[in-house]
Amino acid sequence: MPEGATIHPSSVVERGATIGKGSVIGPFCHIGPSVVIGENVRLSSHVSIAGATTLGDNCRVYPHAALGEEPQNLAHKGGVTTLTIGAGTTIREAATIHAGSDSSRGHTAVGKNCFIMAYCHVAHDCIVGDNVIMANGATLAGHCEIGDNVTIGGLTAVLQFVRVGNNAFLAGMSGISGDVIPFGMAQGNLADLRGLNIVGMRRSGMSKDDIRMVREAYLTIFDQSRPMADNLQIAREKFAASPLSMRIVDFLSVRGKRYFVTPPVKGGAVDAPESDG
């Protein structure tokens, strides 16, 4: 038994696995030979951790979660790929997080202090930031990039290769098929932008002036009287002194051929109706 760790006798920890000091492995868990578990981690029961998976300190994993299994990717040829989960992350019942695929970046990463609720899925080659909340049944397809402080509502599905910027909010039961800007709020079966995530911006400590500036940048960028390329150039010059506004400009300026942007809802207000006052 690893020094300072507690392992239930019904669990299988294969030779080569590393278990950190103070960690508790509950009953009927299976830990593969290439797994690294940090300090003070708690696996409740019936947890499977496979492959080259690293679980950071102070994580908590609940029953029937499966971490680090091979990707659900037909292009994967069986090469060694990895999964990393940051410190302080909680993974609830029956959630699944797969390793990367050898046909892509080869690595899946979940950041620190995330809360992955029951029946969520994080697919191969996803990069998930810090402090991300995924409510029950939320799903990330392969190759998604999720920024810090993002909240994803229950039963929401994010299409492969989609990027979601920092502090965005994806409403429950939505289908996210395009990139969502930082601070954006997206909702709908084929989701549209419904304005800015004002509540999340306040909770993050942004001032009223910061929120007003980001809102003004948002309105400039999505002004339908001009092409977006022109709007971005205008916003880059007008809001150069606003780092928060520039997050949106920079996010939209690195679009590739695989990406399109989730647009504001048609026929509705381009901005969130809620006051920032």
Residue numbers annotated as active site? 124-125, 142
Question: Helix, strand or coil for residue 167?
Answer: coil
Which conformational region is residue 168 in: left (phi greater than 0), alpha (psi within -120 to 50 degrees), or beta?
beta
Strand partners, 97: 67, 122
What is the rounded distance in angstroms from the CA atom of residue 132 to the CA atom of residue 129? 6
Question: Helix, strand or coil for residue 194?
Answer: strand
Q: Residue 124: what residue type?
A: H
Query: How many CA atoms within 13 Å lie on the side-chain side of 12?
Result: 8
What is the rounded distance in angstroms from the CA atom of residue 37 to the CA atom of residue 55? 5
Q: Which residues of 175-184 are buried (b: 16+ CB within 10 A; e: fewer)?
A: ebebbbbbbb
Q: What is the DSSP string of 249-274?
A: HHHHHT--TT--BPPBPTTS-SS-SS
